[in-house]
Amino acid sequence: MISQEMFFDLFGVHVRQLAGVNGVTDDDAERIIQIFAEAMKNPYMDERHIYQRLIENRDVVV
């Protein structure tokens, strides 16, 4: 991508905004942003890996 940084910043802004509207905690919003950053850097991180990262270290295993 031509400017990962620019897009990453845009994504982060919107995630935080949507998290606030939907009552999602700041921690969860940062988790999404962190996982998104990993997925951007790693082209082999597919949907299953993203989902796996989302459910990691959660109290209830879905």
Q: Which two three-digit tokens encode residue 8?
A: 């990453």
CA distances 26 to 35, 41, 48, Å, are 14, 23, 24
Residues 6+ apart with CB under 8 A from 36: 8, 11, 15
Q: Quote the least distance from Cβ 36 to another protein, whole Å.
A: 7
Looking only at residues 22 through 61 of this chain, which bind another protein when binding is defined by CB under 8 A?
22, 24, 28-29, 31-32, 35-36, 39-40, 43, 45-48, 50-51, 54-55, 58-60
What is the chain's alpha carbon radius of gyration, rounded to the nearest angstrom? 13
Residues that bind another protein (CB under 8 A): 1-3, 5-7, 10-11, 13-15, 17-19, 22, 24, 28-29, 31-32, 35-36, 39-40, 43, 45-48, 50-51, 54-55, 58-60, 62
